[in-house]
Amino acid sequence: METKNIMIVGVGGQGSLLASKLLGHLLLTQGYDVKVSEVHGMSQRGGSVVTYVRFGDKVYSPVIDKGEADFIVSFELLEAARWLPYLKKDGQIVTNTQQIDPMPVITGAAEYPEDLVNKLKSTGAKVDALDYLSLAEKAGSSKAVNIVLLGRLSHYFDLPKEAWMKSLEANVPSKFLEMNKKAFELGKNCEE
Amino acid sequence: MNENNGRQLMLGNKAVARGLYEAGVCFISSYPGTPSTEVTEEAAKYDEIYCEWAPNEKVAMESAFGASLAGRRSFCAQKHVGLNVAADPLYTMSYTGVNAGLVIDVSDDAGMHSSQNEQDSRHHAIAAKVPMIEPSDSKEALEYTKLAFEISEKFDTPVLLKMCTRVAHSQSVVETGERIVPDKPYEKNIAKYVMMPGNAKKRHPFVEQRTKDLIEYAENCPLNRVEIGDTKTGIITCSTSYQYVKEVFGDKVSVLKLGMTNPLPEKLIKDFASRVDKLFVVEELDPIIENHVKALGISVTGKELLPIIDEFSQNLIAEKFGIEKEKSFALEDSIPNRPPVMCAGCPHRGLFYTLKKNNCTVLGDIGCYTLGAVPPLGAIEMTLCMGASIGALHGFNKVRGAESEHKTVAVIGDSTFMHSGMTGLANVAYNQSNSTIIIVDNSITGMTGHQQNPTTGYNIKGDPAGKIDLEALCRAMGFNRVRVVDPYNLDECDKVLKEELAADAPSVIISRRPCALLKYVKHEAPLKVNKEKCVGCKSCMKIGCPAISMKNGKASIDNTLCVGCKVCSQLCPVGALES
């Protein structure tokens, strides 16, 4: 099998680390070779963060390069736009429509581009954009947005649901398990 | 779930820690530094290994040396620039050799994700004449770590284990094994371990012979391997570059993968070169392998094709070798950058606001507070290396005298001060410059992800430990003016800063409040903007808090970020930011 590439992007502190951990665990249980790559340190301080998840028969590079991502899962709309050049021609974007102003926008040095969802779609890219944050709140906590997004990703993936559930159980504290299961279902079954 | 045995996904740094466990390491002393920090953090989770955070890399390495001397396998870890601090013991440990195995992790940061320079640590291995081995993924990180101890003991040398950001911070599949603890007795040996000239002169020939022996080892060792594919193109590579080469070419080229990058083999390279039509070296940063190959009289292409700056990727390799890749999507809009910022509620913010307001010249240091250099605060004017703020301030004031003494300050964190600020402070006290040093004490080593240090009162496991009293230390070093301020209190900060800058004696201001991200720090309720009162003057925007933005001409507070520090409300002229 050719190596598949998933990028998880967002803003430092949004919970992308748990998402990549869960995904890595899941893919390993499915018998794939897996590599997950992230950057720590300076970039976490509210900066743009990216995690690469790659799986297949044999994975070499730990990073995903421009034009290679089968999926970009984005926690924030501007970040989906930032990493768009990394999407494969037939790749799929799954993005939360939440907008978080970066410092240059806050200080007035730059503007947050308007109507980004339509602009993303008009490039010809496949874009699944929704207010996944409100689905997380519906599940019980805004912090569950990472699991809502994974639920949505599972919609595009041919993997058994039990496997997803097992990885959820292995990676989420038991007291938050029910809420996260609900978050997963809401993401998986929502209508765009 | 039992993760102790079998196939599992593991961070490169965690794989090194696992290798340390399996190799029977008993002692680890390190100073945190991205991307090396997690090795020591993960190792500390094994009860069988004694782990600690040392005040700096030099002390860490000397402690690890002592443990090796005493007969137990030992280890220390640091980032590339940390090895500069520890270079002094390293270069002479090359002469003494070791008793039990001693391995030193040095993590480079090509691409400078979290560093102040892009140095190539392989130069240290060459200059210190010690072996260096370089894993290219987590599996190798675990295996090479164990092998490093065998090399260390067999050849009587410290061994450098070179990691890089992409190996340290990526997870790949590993297989784990059991822990075996070797034990060597300590034996007095003055000729080997007392490096005064008479003894060192006798050890230098040993070092040179050892390098010859290591070259012999490198010719056939399991760290260096040839993967013969199509022989039109041969590529010599190492570390993460190997992964990019394989990603692009698979088995379509022949590869000599070097897991040991110092000393480099000679016969192996000559033999490989003779089997391929055209030879390349693919290595990040400096042309170390390339120069070695050229010195062997072999024609090779390296840095004339591939950059000396920044990290590599598969697309870069493909492009440089003339392989076209499909173009992807692009937006016409420019996407605003999202640089790292001080967190909402960061105690450094109030201090930097005060420094900027007083038009101070700020010589900075290494830590989260380096972000005081970015807009809108833009307060820091120099950052060099750990501890440099104080040394530089002393020199600055000595040559500029009164014109700078009353407006120039050094800003240094609690952990950085312990690391190498104290000697700078001793110089100010001794050679008497009228300097004002500000220690920003957020009670943790922040930037690297919350490690304890000698001022926090806790050790690496979070248990109570010795605690250095900063005020008492500064007074004991000869400072009569030592003041403590709360950086959330802007009036107090302003008053104390003005007084200490005006004083005709050196002073230390300790700006003290714990990092807002520490678990024990209780947050206040988020502030609310009273839209009736807010006049949209943007005074609250001057501090660059990510929780504050302007919406429809009025200030707006993101209540998921705001921790209620009230620094912004002290700037509001109309009292619109309410608790």
Q: Which residues of A touch B447 (CB under 8 A)?
A: 41-42, 45
Contact B374 A35 (CB under 8 A): no
Q: Using an 8 Å Cβ cutoff, are B161 and B144 in contact?
A: yes
* Dist CA A45 CA B34 (whole Å): 14
Judging contacts by C-beta atoms under 8 Å, the chain A residues touching residue B339 are 47, 102-104
Element (H or E) spanning B397, and its range? helix B388-400
Task: Give the SS3 label for residue B58.
Answer: helix
What φ, ψ does residue A41 adopt, rounded to 5°? 90, -130
B247 close contact with A: CB closer than 8 A: yes
Is there a contact between B170 and A25 if contact means CB atoms under 8 Å apart?
A: no
Q: If you search the block for the tokens 């070179």, which residue do you land on?
A: B162
| Model confidence pLDDT, tens digit, residues A35-84 | 999 876 555 677 889 999 999 999 999 999 999 999 999 999 999 999 99
Alpha helices (H) in chain A, listed in sequence order:
16-29, 77-83, 103-106, 116-122, 132-139, 145-155, 161-171, 177-189
CA B533 to chain centre: 46
Structural domain of A128? 4-189
ipTM: 0.94
Token code pair at residue B346:
């960061």
Q: Mind telling me how many Å the CA of A96 is from chain B's nearest CA? A: 17
CB contact set of B484 (below 8 Å; sequence gap of 6+): B471, B509, B510, B512
Q: In angstroms, what separates the C-alpha of A190 from chain B's closest C-alpha?
A: 25
Candidates B83, B134, B383; CA nearest to B259 is: B134
How many angstroms away from the CA of A72 is the closest CA of chain B? 13
The tens-digit pLDDT sequence of chain B (579 residues) is: 334 346 799 999 999 999 999 999 999 999 999 999 999 999 999 999 999 999 999 999 999 999 999 999 999 999 999 999 999 999 999 999 999 999 999 999 999 999 999 999 999 999 999 999 999 999 999 999 999 999 999 999 999 999 999 999 999 999 999 999 998 999 999 999 999 999 999 999 999 999 999 999 999 999 999 999 999 999 999 999 999 999 999 999 999 999 999 999 999 999 999 999 999 999 999 999 999 999 999 999 999 999 999 999 999 999 999 999 888 899 999 999 998 889 999 999 999 999 999 999 999 999 999 999 999 999 999 999 999 999 999 999 999 999 999 999 999 999 999 999 999 999 999 999 999 999 999 999 999 989 999 999 999 999 999 999 999 999 999 999 999 999 999 999 999 999 999 999 999 999 999 999 999 999 999 999 999 999 999 999 999 999 999 999 999 999 888 999 999 999 999 999 999
B577: CB partners within 8 A, 6+ apart: B527, B528, B529, B530, B540, B555, B557, B566, B568, B569
Count of A–B CB contacts within 8 Å? 187
Report, in this order, helix, strand and coil percent for chain A, each rounded to 5: 45, 25, 30
What CATH number should be reported for the domain holding residue A52?
3.40.920.10
Backbone angles phi, psi at B255, to 5 degrees: -130, 135
A130 CB-side CA count, 13 A = 19
Predicted pLDDT at A44: 62
Task: Please state, in angstroms and rounded to a whole number, the distance separating the CA atoms of residues A142 and A176.
Answer: 13
Question: Do B9 and A170 count as a contact with CB atoms less than 8 A apart?
Answer: no
**Which member of B243, B328, B334 has the closest CB to residue A85?**
B328
φ, ψ for residue B240 (rounded to 5)?
-70, -25
Strand B278-282 and strand B233-237: the pairing is parallel
Q: Is it true that the peptide bond before B376 is cis, omega within 30 degrees of 0?
A: yes
Residues 51-110 of B with CB under 8 A from A: none
Task: Retrieve residue B327's tokens.
Answer: 């173009």
Cβ of A35 within 8 Å of Cβ of B315? The answer is no
Distance of alpha carbon B167 from alpha carbon B180, whole angstroms: 25
Whether B361 has its CB under 8 Å from any CB of chain A: the answer is no
- Reported as half-sphere exposure (CB side, CA atoms, 13 A), residue B441 has a value of 22
User: How big is chain B by its Cα radius of gyration, in Å?
Assistant: 27
Q: What are the beta bridge partners of residue B439?
A: B412, B510
The answer to whether B338 contacts A119, with C-beta atoms less than 8 Å apart, is no
* Test the B interface: residue of A35, A38, A61, A121 with most B CBs within 10 Å: A61
pLDDT of residue A172: 93
Least Cα separation, residue A104 to chain B (angstroms): 7
Residue B265, burial from CB neighbour count under 10 angstroms (0-12, 13-18, 19+): buried
3-state secondary structure B250-288: CCCCEEEEECEEECCCCHHHHHHHHHCCEEEEECCCCCH
Which pLDDT value is given to residue A43?
55
Rounded to a whole number of angstroms, the distance from the CA of A135 to the nearest CA of chain B is 17
Q: Which residue has the tokens 């697309």?
A: B315
Tokens 């039509």 belong to B277
State the pLDDT at residue A41. Answer: 57
> Which residues numbered 105-134 in A keep a CB inside 8 Å of some CB on B?
105-113, 116, 119-120, 123-125
A11 to chain B, any CB pair closer than 8 A? The answer is yes
Q: What distance in Å separates the CA atoms of residue B20 and residue B312, rounded to the nearest whole number? A: 29
- Angle, helices B490-502/B348-357, rounded to nearest 10 degrees: 50
What is the nearest CA distance from B486 to chain A, expressed in angstroms? Answer: 22
Cα gap B494→B355, rounded to integer Å: 8
Determine, for residues B544 and A37 on separate chains, whether the beta-carbon distance falls below 8 Å. Answer: no
Q: Do B9 and A28 touch (CB under 8 A)?
A: yes
Identity of residue B466: G
CB contact under 8 A, B331 and A123: yes
Is B169 an interface residue toward A (CB < 8 Å)? yes
The torsion angles phi and psi of B469, rounded to 5 degrees, stand at: -90, 110
DSSP percent split of chain B into helix, strand, coil, nearest 5: 40, 20, 45
Instruction: Indicate the number of domains in chain A.
Output: 1
In whole angstroms, give the CA distance from residue B273 to residue B279: 6
| CA–CA gap between residue A90 and residue A73 (Å, rounded) | 15
The pLDDT tens digits for A111-169 are 999 999 999 999 999 999 999 999 999 999 999 999 999 999 999 988 999 999 999 99
CA-to-CA distance for A180 and A160, rounded, in angstroms?
Answer: 18
Q: What's residue B2's pLDDT?
A: 39
Mutation target vs B (from A32, A37, A145; most B CBs, 10 A cutoff): A37
* Alpha helices, H only, B78-137: 80-85, 87-96, 122-128
Rg for chain A (alpha carbons), in Å?
A: 16
pLDDT of B457 reads 97
Whether A172 and chain B come into contact, CB under 8 Å, resolves to no
Annotate A10-44 with b (16+ C-beta within 10 A) or e (fewer): bbbbbbbbbbbbbbbbbbbeeebbbbbbbbbbbbb
CB B100 within 8 A of CB B150: no
